[in-house]
Amino acid sequence: MIATVRWDDGTKSIKLDEAYREGAVVIERRAKSKGLICSSALFVALALALGGCAGFIPLDSPDAVSTRSNAAIVTEPSAPLPYVLMPINPVVLQATNSFTDSAGLVFSRLPGGNYRDVTIGVGDIVTVTVYEAQAGGLFIPREAGVRPGNFVDIPRQQVDQSGNINIPYAGSIKVSGLTPRAVSNIIRERLKDRAIDPQAVVSVAEQRGNQVSVLGEVNTPLRFPVDPGGIRLMGAIARAGGPKYPSYESTITIKRSGRTYNESMSSVVHHPGEDILLAPGDVVFLTRVPRVFMVFGSTPSPGSIGGTNNRRFTFENDNMTLAEGLAKAGGLDGIRADSKSIFVYRFEPKPLLERIGLQVSQFPTELVPAVYKFDMSKPDGWFHADSFRMRDHDVISVAEAPSTEFIKLMAPLNAATVNAANIGATIANTR
């Protein structure tokens, strides 16, 4: 294509690409194949647009060139993050689903959870009754008619901050942490040399120290004493009116002995071993933490499906699959999507990848970046997608078909060519 350009010493015709390269002002160009002459204003504007002159096109934020050129220090780019790419197959699918089902099971390993007998705690109200075999002993008078029975009730008393109570002629006894039966044996041993074959019955009238609290996103937060036979986690939540939100959006936190442990409520529901016995002093806190996943790439534009205006979606059940996630995002874009290249990004632990047969010793961390690849151009790819269990914060990426980049490139060029032809025809008609 030949262009007429203006120089300081006049005008001359040179090739159009040479004119742009040398910075000449194009007056007109001539396409030999069509014989079109276009206005110089069009090509000056096109040159400015292609050149990206600062300030010519409005921007809502600094562009990459401006950001880099104004930086005081520019560090070297880091090396690409190494990752594992795994085309999905039955072995990989079974291994990752097995880990998904068992991930986050921590409650069954909590220390001190085998609590079955009620122990006496600080603040509890304790009653003690002492029996003697016959009258004339330490507590029962010789005169049979003075009082009925062969026992005496010790006034109710509260366990002090040191964990002690006081029994006449037996002194101060540390009862905190002991069962009522153990305290009865201690009283009998201390009185056996002074009373006639003494026996003691100890009971807890009011439990104020051996309590658990259930708080957070439950319908009726409360604090209550532990039952004599113990109480399990789900039973405690039930006493608090149950959770306000579905199990797949609820996280349970247990505070015990100064440490906290977290697990999703869905895991407790599906794994009976996680429904542990609570210990005195436990605090159970329910929090709403919706699980989410992100979808990028060649899926319908945000806002075009159900009014959803982003690419971040929440789980709708306990075991959401990849197929359900893609369906919630609107499926694949029939014009742009490469159905052979659907990817799921997540971090996987080394033991899982080693179970599949991969050598991952070169990775410095325990969690390895992993990418699962699905070929959904075949029927088995859809079956795999409908069996692949999603996890919290998974990233789904739908690759574009190879032809899409070419179409993107040609679209503005075709538009520019059509506009140029239209302007040229308009100019020619006005002459």
Residue 248 maps to a domain: yes
Residue 327 maps to a domain: yes
Q: With contact defined as beta carbons under 8 Å apart, do 337 and 397 qualify?
A: no
What is the tally of structural domains in the chain?
A: 4
Residue 22 maps to a domain: yes
Residue 260 maps to a domain: yes
Residue 415 maps to a domain: no
Specify whether 325 is located in the same domain as 394. yes
What residues contact 31, with CB distance under 8 A and at least 6 apart? 1
Specify whether 400 is located in the same domain as 297. yes
Q: How confident is the model at residue 109 (pLDDT cuts 50, 70, 90)?
A: confident
Of 288, 310, 329, the position where a domain reaches its end is 288
**Structure tokens, 42:** 């069009």
CA nearest neighbour of 115 among 231, 214, 222: 231
pTM over 0.75: no
CATH label of the domain that carries residue 193: 3.30.1950.10
- What's the chain's average pLDDT? 81
Specify whether 308 is located in the same domain as 367. yes
pLDDT tens, position by position, 335-388? 888 999 999 999 999 999 998 889 898 898 899 999 999 999 999 999 999 999
Q: With contact defined as beta carbons under 8 Å apart, do 342 and 373 qualify?
A: yes
Specify whether 357 is located in the same domain as 394. yes
Specify whether 219 is located in the same domain as 279. yes
Mean pLDDT of 381-400: 94
Of 190, 206, 222, the position where a domain reaches its end is 206
Q: Report how far residue 133's alpha carbon sits from residue 195's, in angstroms, rounded to the nearest whole number.
A: 9
Specify whether 38 is located in the same domain as 88. no
Top pLDDT among 225 and 246 is at 246
Q: With contact defined as beta carbons under 8 Å apart, do 319 and 425 qualify?
A: no
Specify whether 303 is located in the same domain as 384. yes
Specify whether 296 is located in the same domain as 401. yes
C-alpha angle with apex 412: 407 to 416, nearest 5 degrees? 140
CATH label of the domain that carries residue 282: 3.10.560.10
Specify whether 142 is located in the same domain as 190. yes
Of 288, 323, 340, the position where a domain reaches its end is 288
Q: Can you give the pLDDT at residue 80?
A: 80
Specify whether 144 is located in the same domain as 156. yes
Q: How confident is the model at residue 23 (pLDDT cuts 50, 70, 90)?
A: low
Residue 94 maps to a domain: yes
Consecutive H or E run containing 98: helix 90-102
Residue 424 maps to a domain: no
Q: Can you give the pLDDT at residue 173?
A: 93
Specify whether 303 is located in the same domain as 381. yes
Residue 244 has pLDDT above 60, yes or no: yes
Q: How confident is the model at residue 147 (pLDDT cuts 50, 70, 90)?
A: low
Specify whether 162 is located in the same domain as 229. no
Residue 355 maps to a domain: yes
Range of the domain at 241: 110-115+210-288
